[in-house]
Amino acid sequence: MLDLTPEDWTAVHLSLRIAAVSTLVTLPFGIAIAYVLARKSFWGKSLLDAVVHLPLVLPPVVTGYLLLITFGRRAPAGAFLADHFGIVFSFRWTGAVLACGVMAFPLMVRAIRLSIEAIDRRLEDAAATLGANRLWLFATITLPLALPGIIAGMMLAFARALGEFGATITFVSNIPGETQTISAAIYTLTQVPGGDAAAMQLVIVAIVISLAALMASEFFARRASARVHGA
Amino acid sequence: MVHNMLVVDVEKQLGGFAVNARFESEGGATALFGPSGAGKTSIVNMIAGLMTPDRGRIALDELVLFDRAMRINLPASKRRVGYVFQDGRLFPHLSIRHNLDYGRFMGGHPADPATFAHVVELLDIGHLLDRRPGKLSGGERQRVAIGRALLMRPRLLLLDEPLASLDSGRKGEIVPYLERLRDEAKVPMIYVSHDAAEVGRIASRVVRVESGKVTGMGGIELLSPAVMPREGGASSIP
């Protein structure tokens, strides 16, 4: 029933790669920011909170445009990264990773922050009296107890990255084989006369991937939650 | 020669409540005895390093744990003060075995199967090792909590109402373990309780705490109601 062209498969493969890489690359930053927002109080905290949430409320096109004028090849940050580290974002799949990561970041931070806030601090006190310094305490108590939220956050970020369209197409355009994800491919097909059937094929693929991701995350979150609650 | 002399002299303002406690204890089991809300838990939290006094000094033999004037405040993780909490506080995501082993690992000590086996036997928790804390009874949980504090090789053991969350039958079940602990472990203990009968079985020295202040130091005669000062009498004792 599925009859995908090689171009379609490329889009599917690219979508999965961009979503997976952006989720994994974002994760350490997500955990760090979530921890800071959950535990620390400092001047400018509400500003940081607002900036982190900005991609959630801004039109995706605006986020994409801001990325373009910041990380484009001629833009200051983009030129710096390209010249010193060889990292190029503009019109590359890495740029799609950046766009997806930025768009998914607030959802990831939110989920992880909630789970860190729910941790019983008295367990951390107990670990401290047993000799755990701050780093060990974080690694052996805080992080494992926050795991259900971390999994939920990764799932949300992955789903957001799969669905991301506006910021990506604005920042890195819609180049088959480089930045054309499932969403962008479907959009392109719907703009072509007679492309409906092919678009439908990709729609089915998108539904299957999303369902599988949801079920996998539910499975892992339940296992992690059972662990955390000592069952 | 080990004296295990603990000197505590701390002040701490907690909202409208002031803790101002000064006492010493040497080896063995010393009780912090007094009614609920007298500030006993705040005092042991300051000894453990979980609460910072506003002023004062805490020292164990030559080791200064806290001294405001000298600007010394050893973090909780460096004090090696074992703490048995009222509510156990076992780590829910770790097996009982890993809970027990946590302090040994964090302290950087090599594995010591003989000591581990001895403590497990002392507290009779061998059948629990591969379980998780979630399914333990209250009495089992407290025995594991005692074992966990003991296996970190503490310089001092703090027990904060370790029996308070248990019903009377379960209390009777734990007390013999505490007596064995006191007699065999050779670690000085501070035992916090509001229950005179319980304190009488475990501690030989008593520090009486009322309204944030130490109102008496001595033997177990302090436990009898006859010498308890009447309401309002506490503040007249320096």
Q: pLDDT tier at A73 (50, 70, 90 boundaries)?
A: confident
Q: pLDDT tier at B174 (50, 70, 90 boundaries)?
A: confident
Q: What is the mean pLDDT of chain A?
A: 92
If you average pLDDT over residues A109-138, what whole number do you get?
Answer: 95
Q: Quote the pLDDT of residue B237.
A: 37
Mark yes or no for CB contact A130/B102 under 8 Å: yes
Q: Quote the pLDDT of residue B233.
A: 41
B82: contact with A, CB 8 A cutoff: yes
Among B32-41, B144-153, B222-231, name the one with the lowest average pLDDT.
Answer: B222-231
What percentage of chain B reaches a pLDDT higher than 70?
A: 93
If you average pLDDT over residues A147-175, what whole number do you get?
Answer: 92
Q: Quote the pLDDT of residue B232.
A: 42
Instruction: Judge whether residue A64 has pLDDT over 90.
Output: yes
Instruction: Judge whether residue B210 has pLDDT over 70.
Output: yes
Q: pLDDT tier at B74 (50, 70, 90 boundaries)?
A: very high
- CA A172, A174, A175, A176 dihedral sign is positive
Q: Quote the pLDDT of residue B99.
A: 96
State the amino acid at position B132 in one-letter form: R
| DSSP-assigned states of every residue in A59-101 | -HHHHHHHHHHHHSTTSHHHHHHHHHH----TTSHHHHHHHHH
Q: pLDDT (tens digit, 9 = 90+) per residue, A118-127?
A: 999 999 999 9
- To the nearest whole Å, the CA of B191 is away from the closest chain A CA by 17
Q: pLDDT tier at A231 (50, 70, 90 boundaries)?
A: low
A1: contact with B, CB 8 A cutoff: no
| Burial of residue B24 (number of CB atoms within 10 Å: 0-12, 13-18, 19+) | middle
| Burial of residue B44 (number of CB atoms within 10 Å: 0-12, 13-18, 19+) | buried
Q: pLDDT (tens digit, 9 = 90+) per residue, A84-95?
A: 888 889 889 999
Burial A167-194 (b: 16+ CB within 10 A, else e): bbbbbbbbeeebbbbbbbbbebbeeeee
Q: Quote the pLDDT of residue B238.
A: 38
If you average pLDDT over residues B79-94, what whole number do you get?
Answer: 94
If you average pLDDT over residues A193-217, what whole number do you get?
Answer: 90
Within 10 A of B14 (CB to CB), how many other CB atoms are there?
12
Q: pLDDT (tens digit, 9 = 90+) per residue, B189-200?
A: 999 999 888 898
- To the nearest whole Å, the CA of B170 is away from the closest chain A CA by 22
User: What residue of B is the nearest CA neighbor of A120?
Assistant: B89
The model's pTM: 0.86
Q: pLDDT (tens digit, 9 = 90+) per residue, A175-203?
A: 998 999 999 999 999 998 988 888 999 99
Q: Quote the pLDDT of residue B173.
A: 79
Rounded to whole angstroms, the Cα distance separating B183 from A93 reads 69
Rounded to whole angstroms, the Cα distance separating B184 from A49 reads 54
Q: Quote the pLDDT of residue B187.
A: 87
Q: Is residue A96 within 8 Å of residue B47, measured between CB atoms?
A: no
Instruction: Judge whether residue B229 has pLDDT over 70.
Output: no
Sheet holding B189-193, edge to edge: B72-73, B63-67, B55-60, B5-14, B17-26, B213-218, B205-210, B29-33, B189-193, B156-160, B81-84
| DSSP-assigned states of every residue in B5-37 | EEEEEEEEEETTEEEEEEEEEESSEEEEE--TT
Rounded to whole angstroms, the Cα distance separating B93 from A145 reads 7
Q: Quote the pLDDT of residue A69.
A: 93
Q: Quote the pLDDT of residue B221.
A: 80
State the amino acid at position B184 in one-letter form: E
Instruction: Judge whether residue B235 has pLDDT over 60.
Output: no
Q: Quote the pLDDT of residue B2.
A: 56
Rounded to whole angstroms, the Cα distance separating A73 from B15 reads 58
Nearest to A231 among B76, B78, B134 (CB): B134
What percentage of chain B reaches a pLDDT higher than 90?
A: 61
Q: Quote the pLDDT of residue A185.
A: 92
If you average pLDDT over residues B37-64, what whole number do you get?
Answer: 94
Mark yes or no for CB contact B134/A132 under 8 Å: no
Instruction: Judge whether residue B236 has pLDDT over 50.
Output: no
| Chain A residues within 8 A of B49 when measuring between CB atoms | 128-129
Best residue of A129, A134, A225 to probe chain B, by most B CBs closer than 10 Å: A129
Q: Where are the beta strands (DSSP E) in chain B?
A: 5-14, 17-26, 29-33, 55-60, 63-67, 72-73, 81-84, 156-160, 189-193, 205-210, 213-218
| Chain B residues within 8 A of A137 when measuring between CB atoms | 77
Mark yes or no for CB contact A128/B77 under 8 Å: yes
**Complex ipTM:** 0.88
Q: Quote the pLDDT of residue B230.
A: 46
Q: pLDDT tier at B225 (50, 70, 90 boundaries)?
A: low
How far is CA B62 from each of CA B4, B30, B69, B229, rounded to the nearest angstrom? Answer: 9, 19, 16, 35
